[in-house]
A and B are shown apart, each in its own frame.
Chain A
Amino acid sequence: MTTTEPLLDVRDLSVTFARKSGPTVHAVDGVSFTVRPGETVGLVGESGSGKSVTSLAVMGLLPRRGVRVGGQVLFDTDDLLTLPRDRMRDIRGRDIAMVFQDPMSSLNPVVPIGVQVTEVLERHQRLRGDKASAAAAELLSRVGIPDPTRRLKEYPHQLSGGMRQRALIAMALACQPRLLIADEPTTALDVTIQAQIIELLKELVQDTGAALVMITHDLGIVAGLCDTVHVMYSGRIVESAGRRELFAEPRHPYTGGLLASVPRLDAPRGAPLHPIPGSPTDVLRWERGCAFAPRCPNRLDACTDGPPPLETLPGRRLRCLNPLSETEEVPA
């Protein structure tokens, strides 16, 4: 791992949604992490853990109405949260780009693919006409879309899901961003296509030297791709570590549970699966204790007395009063 200055430095990020009825929701609460140039960072968690909201906050794409964003998001030396909207528009698509979850709905159905690629080039690189088209065709072929010149004239409904996601990746990489955020880019795709897309992202990130924030609930993707992993639960980071450390030695019971719940091909036939009991909606508010406590096998009485702090250990951050011991097997 390099020791250069971080490219992205998220400090104490919090996002609250005000609701007309009921209390405000803390979707993201005191999240801090850094991304170094060229690094691949995973944000992992179940639905509702706040990982997507974190990425939207970094991009400045959260709705303005009823949403409060606190903390700092430093990119280079700019705090993206306080940047004027025009400056933020300049950065989006040029320095930071994003690939979204659902390629079926993320492309404009009534605009040709070509226009949707060239519009980024026109906006940020002032390319026009034939030059822009040629660059767009080049981009499409680079993400593995055959016959790119013909594809440029086609509309999204004429492309398969995998092809659309490739097209979206091409758009994101058009201006060689230094940071790419991928929000569950493979969730909506077939398994065979998933692997191809992940391979493609890995390759492109290596070629361009872009840093990648991969948001996923799929630990398989993390294992194959990420240098550093942050596990989120109910809006807070509960464990952060390098990929090796995390997989070899999960310390937070939630991380352990996630790992144990992945079905293993080498398990004997008929061996039971190990889901984490309960659902992500069985949470305790962090102010009253550990949000994971209602589902936690290692729960102590102290866990529900107050919020556990995020402690910094060697090579790891951990938010747990009774972690899995360093040598303990993953509970099975």
Chain B
Amino acid sequence: MLKFVVRRLLLLVPILFGLSVLLFVWLRALPGGPAQALLGERATAESVARIEALYGLDEAWYVQYWKFVSAAVQLDFGNSARTNRPVTEEMLRTFPATFELAIAALIFAIGIGIPLGYFAARKYGSWLDNLSVSGSLLGVAVPVFFLAYILKYVFSVKLGWFPTQGRDDPRIDADHPTGFYVLDGIVTGNLEASWDAIMHLVLPAIALGAIPLAIIVRITRASVLDVVHEDYVRTAEAKGLQERTITRRHVLRNALLPVVTVIGLQAGLLFSGAILTETVFSFDGVGRFIAEAISNRDYAVLQGFILVIAAMYVVVNLLVDVSYGLIDPRVRVR
């Protein structure tokens, strides 16, 4: 098991190396550069050259790449051209925000998706089943930004139940030792701040979780429909077991295997940032930061963020594979 984990983690090295080369080439192939973006269209050639010299952009690409890599292995990705702060500092600010949002979205999607999929399957052909199937189709089909705007308009603007934007209410004075605002409130004993952070998370989490929710409902439903007709479920019935034991131990444990895979893939996507959702709710996370970095040709931010996201994606997938082995003994690695 340990060997398997280590081998998978070692795989990160070639993946990140290859990706860093691709990124480097790709970013420099974009029209315009950071200096141009910084100074605007009417910048003089001299001022552009001065900025490029300041950031080392006038050197040969392989010199730039070498400098980047040797710093990056020490987790130094340079400074953002836009905010002029270290990229790692920007990461520490934005990643917890996106994590918090992604986790909230997953809790929403899993917490509703699995029970709904399960009951839809058990009541196969009923109104609940039809509703969940057509509802999940809608969930996949509606564009995220549209859903986000609708949620914001109805529940924040019209009904005023939730705040319209941001991660917290600026009027509340709170410390943020971890950057996870809900957790921060609990750690510092400021439950009001925690609650406020949760209220700020609700609508973005629903918008972001809509697609994973729809997918989880469908996979769970299909999987449960398969499993309830398995011979071992009939064996369990023949033993006279209580219905809840049969559901929990014999139906769900097997039916959830494919669901876990799907959740893992979705989690990887969510952690890498939700540009649309974060933009609509002015949520200061990874997605929004990257979107701004792209329009500013902020090389340092893009290189650093995308590499870290790729590493996270690999780690999340590794976690999924490991947990898969925990629930399915047949794929357990020896």
Pairwise interchain contact A61-B237, C-beta atoms closer than 8 A = yes
Counting CB contacts under 8 A, is A108 at the interface? yes
Confirm or deny: A171 has a beta carbon within 8 angstroms of a beta carbon on chain B.
yes
Known: A109-B330, A119-B241. 12 other contacts (CB 8 A): A91-B240, A94-B240, A97-B238, A106-B232, A107-B232, A108-B254, A111-B250, A111-B253, A115-B249, A119-B245, A157-B330, A171-B239
Q: Shortest CB–CB separation between residue A222 and chain B, in angstroms?
A: 23
Residue of B nearest to A109 (CB): B330
Q: Report, nearest first, the 10 A-B pairs whose CB atoms are least far apart.
A: A93-B240, A92-B240, A93-B239, A105-B231, A155-B329, A108-B232, A98-B238, A106-B231, A89-B240, A106-B235
Measured between C-beta atoms, what is the minimum distance from A320 to chain B in Å?
A: 35
Asked if B234 CB lies within 8 Å of chain A CBs, one says yes
User: At the interface, yes or no: B328 with Cβ under 8 Å from chain A?
Assistant: yes
Seen from chain B, the residues whose Cβ lies within 8 Å of a Cβ on chain A are 230-232, 234-243, 245, 249-250, 253-254, 257, 327-330
Residue of A nearest to B329 (CB): A155
Contacts of A28 in B (CB 8 A): none
Contact A89/B242 with A106-B232, A110-B254, A168-B235 known, Cβ cut-off 8 Å: yes
B239 pairs with A119, CB closer than 8 A: yes
Residues of chain A with a CB closer than 8 A to B236's CB: 108
Do the beta carbons of A124 and B234 come within 8 Å of each other? Answer: no
Contacts of A110 in B (CB 8 A): 253-254, 257, 327-330
Q: A59 — which chain B residues lie within 8 A by C-beta?
A: 238
Report B257 CB to chain A, min CB distance, Å: 8
Number of chain A residues whose Cβ lies closer than 8 Å to a Cβ of chain B: 31
A residues with CB within 8 A of B: 59, 61, 88-94, 97-98, 100, 102, 105-112, 115, 119-120, 123-124, 155, 157, 168, 171-172
Q: A105: nearest residue on chain B (CB-CB)? A: B231
B233 shortest CB reach to chain A, Å: 8
Assembled-state Cα–Cα distance A90/B242 (Å):
9
| Chain B interface, >50% SS class | helix
A168 CB contacts on chain B under 8 angstroms: 235
Complex interface: chain B residues within 8 A of A107 (CB)? 232, 235
- Chain A CB count within 10 A is highest, among B232, B236, B238, B241, for B238
Closest Cβ neighbor of A59 among chain B residues: B238
Residue among B234, B240, B249, B257 with most chain A CB within 10 A? B240
In the complex where A106-B231, A157-B330 touch, is A61 in contact with B238 (Cβ < 8 A)?
A: yes
What's the least CB distance linking B255 to chain A, in Å? Answer: 10
Q: Are B235 and A100 in contact (CB under 8 A)?
A: yes
Interface pairs (17), CB distance under 8 Å = A61-B237, A89-B243, A91-B240, A92-B238, A92-B240, A93-B240, A94-B240, A100-B231, A105-B230, A105-B232, A110-B328, A111-B249, A115-B249, A119-B245, A157-B330, A171-B235, A172-B238
Nearest CB of A to B112, in Å = 24
Q: What A residues does B234 contact at CB under 8 A? A: 61, 100, 106
A93 and B241: CB pair below 8 A? yes
Bound together, the chains give a CA A106 to CA B230 distance in angstroms of 8
**CA gap between A324 and B160 in the complex, in Å:** 88
A112 contacts across to B, CB distance below 8 A: 329
Residues in A whose Cβ lies below 8 Å from that of B230: 105
CA distance A172 to B328 in the complex (A): 25
What separation, in Å, do the CA atoms of A262 and B327 have in the docked complex?
46
CB distance from B241 to the nearest CB of A (A): 6
How far is it, in angstroms, between the C-alpha of A124 and the C-alpha of B241 when the chains are bound? 9
**Cβ–Cβ < 8 Å partners of B231 in chain A:** 100, 102, 105-106
CB–CB B232/A92 < 8 A: no
